[in-house]
Structure 1
Amino acid sequence: MKPTKKEIEEIADNLDCGMRCFYNLKSGEIKTIPNFDSWIDADKETWDDVSNEIDENWSDYIEFTGFESHESFKLMVDFAESVDDTRLQNKLIYALNRLKPFQNFKWQIDNSTGYRQNWFDFKKMRYIQWVQNQIDLNNKDFE
């Protein structure tokens, strides 16, 4: 399995959006569908063709997984610890130690000056690493 850098970024972006991503080992094609467990209102019929293709050829595909909630939380902690603005860093750490840490962290980031894009860049870099790690593990399985 040898996805290109652009394909790895595409997979990372789709996982970040809550999609399920599949890589066809024979063709190298990437297929995505919504994670219907998370997107209750998603119209499943719209995705029937892609879902059926994956189901009918399951052994041809590798599924990439996104972060579990505890891994997303760790990602936010890592970002908070990397912030060079002590005041914002303290706000982020406080937000993560309160009820609804995801919501509170998002509010702090959305209302910070100049750090919102830093958060998106940090998260994207980590998702790309996450996808690359899954590629490396799958490649070892096939050796």
Structure 2
Amino acid sequence: MKLTEEQIREIAENLDLGMRCFYHLKTGEIETTPNFNEADWFGHETEPWQETLDKLDENWGDYFEFEKITSRESFAIMADFAETVDNQKLQDRLFKALNKSKPLRNFKWEIDNSGEYRQIWFDFKDHRLIEFVKNQIEQHNREFTDE
């Protein structure tokens, strides 16, 4: 599997939005669909995506599906970011947010109200999500060459 940096970024962004991303192992084409099993998409109309869904169903073995990041992994990225924050007050608020119930929501609220750190967070998260996708590519390529 050989993807461009642009393709990797696109996959990372779509996974972050809750989409499912597939890579066609022969053509290098990327397919993206909503995750209709997730709460945000459950019960939504599949018709606009039907052609892609059919293509995936008919050729399932030709595609590699990228895994989405788990909430545990998201939490770890947030904690890692909090470690890097050079503003002690914000760092304290971020760690408190992560130690409350609903840590993802609380962290998001703190970041959304952190001024310049909001963009720093998005850049940090984007970098980590891209690394997450690259790790899946590397793992697949190692497994493929071992076969």
TM-score > 0.5 by shorter chain: yes
Deviations 1:55-75 (A, max 9, x none): 110111000011111111111
Q: Name the structure 1 match of 2:87.
A: 85
Amino acid in the other structure paired with 1:75: I
> RMSD of the TM alignment (CA)?
0.9
| 2:101 partner SS | coil
* Unpaired stretches in structure 2, ≥5 consecutive residues: none
| 2:22 partner SS | strand
Q: For residue 113 of structure 1, report the CA deviation from its aligned partner.
A: 1.5
Q: Name the structure 2 match of 1:51.
A: 53
Q: Name the structure 2 match of 1:28.
A: 28
Greater than 2 Å deviation, 4+ residue runs: none
1:128 paired residue among 127, 130, 137: 130
Q: Name the structure 2 match of 1:75.
A: 77
* Unpaired stretches in structure 1, ≥5 consecutive residues: none
Please, what TM-score do these two structures have when normalized by structure 1?
0.97
Please, what TM-score do these two structures have when normalized by structure 2?
0.94
Q: Name the structure 2 match of 1:5.
A: 5
Paired with 2:46 and 2:86, the residues of 1 have a C-alpha distance of 44
Paired with 1:97 and 1:109, the residues of 2 have a C-alpha distance of 15
2:42 paired residue among 26, 40, 49: 40
Deviations 1:33-58 (A, max 9, x none): 00112222532121111011011101
Paired with 2:43 and 2:117, the residues of 1 have a C-alpha distance of 32
Give aligned-pair identity as a percent: 55
Q: Name the structure 1 match of 2:18.
A: 18
